[in-house]
Amino acid sequence: MGSADSTAQLSNKRLQKRGLLRQLDRGSESESATWVLTRPTPPPGDVASEVGTHTAPPARQMGRVPDSRVLSAIMAHDAFHYFAHGVSGARLLASLEATEGASVAELAQGCGHHPATVRRRLKALQEDGLVVELEGLYYLDDLEISVPKLAAAAERAATSGRAESRRVRHVQQREGFRRWTLARRQASSRRWRPSLVVPEAVQAAHRLGQVVVGWEEWDVSDPMRPVWIGDTA
């Protein structure tokens, strides 16, 4: 979705608290966790849960909400990079239709953006030929979102190839994290050995009764605490 990790985590917590989201697994070193949408269980005797009741507000009262399938299909395109149309542009485009227009107020309410942001993004989408405006209402320029026009928009914004490079970078980061965790496990499984003050070669020479240059006037019987026994001590 182009959101920060912290934003996604907070959103998941809110949805979990309301009973709308459930975590299936915690993922692994190379795969993220899996989540599933759920339907909250209504309390006993809740009239709104009975079949045939019409308690949901009309779609117009909720504004023009983005189509989740369309949004998931276009979100990763280079045309919606941060330096191009961005997430807000993708949400607006996923909210529009070719036959039924939407006003700025409806789009702002449904997408959760400020009207000024909606106008600015719509103007940019118009310049790239993705959106048309007629009598204050906005429509898709064609029955479906044009992939060639998205590619041209990314080319003009100099964001072509950013999505692929981002995917490659994320794969490298996951691989680096996997190697780091593996090395950490291997290091923790090894037997711990203290760092010696006296080098092992000097200790071996001392056990054989040999004299090592520079260690003649040192008592190295305790490798962790060598003692100076020279005349100048």
Measured between alpha carbons, how far is 99 from 137 in angstroms, rounded to an integer?
11
More confident residue, 61 or 149: 149
Amino acid 156: pLDDT:
93
Residue 197 has pLDDT above 60, yes or no: yes
pLDDT digits (tens, 9 = 90+) for 153-195: 999 999 999 989 988 998 898 898 899 888 888 877 776 666 6
Residue 152 has pLDDT above 50, yes or no: yes
Contacts of residue 33, Cβ cutoff 8 Å, sequence gap at least 6: 23, 24, 25, 26, 27
* Least confident piece of the model among 68-77, 82-91, 147-156, 209-218: 209-218
Tell me how many degrees the CA angle 142-146-151 measures, rounded to the nearest 5: 150
pLDDT digits (tens, 9 = 90+) for 77-115: 999 998 999 999 999 999 999 989 999 999 999 888 899
* Least confident piece of the model among 24-38, 132-146, 207-221: 24-38
Residue 34 has pLDDT above 70, yes or no: yes
Domain positions in the chain: 59-180
Contacts of residue 48, Cβ cutoff 8 Å, sequence gap at least 6: 42, 55
Considering the segment(s) 59-180 as one domain, its CATH architecture is Orthogonal Bundle (1.10)
Q: How many CB atoms lie within 10 A of CB 103?
A: 16
Residue 35 has pLDDT above 50, yes or no: yes
The one-letter amino acid at 40: P
Enter the pTM of the model. 0.57
By the 10 Å C-beta count (0-12 exposed, 13-18 middle, 19+ buried), 14 is classed as: exposed
Give percent of the chain above pLDDT 90: 30
Alpha helices in the chain (DSSP H): 5-17, 68-74, 86-95, 104-111, 115-127, 147-156, 162-189, 200-207
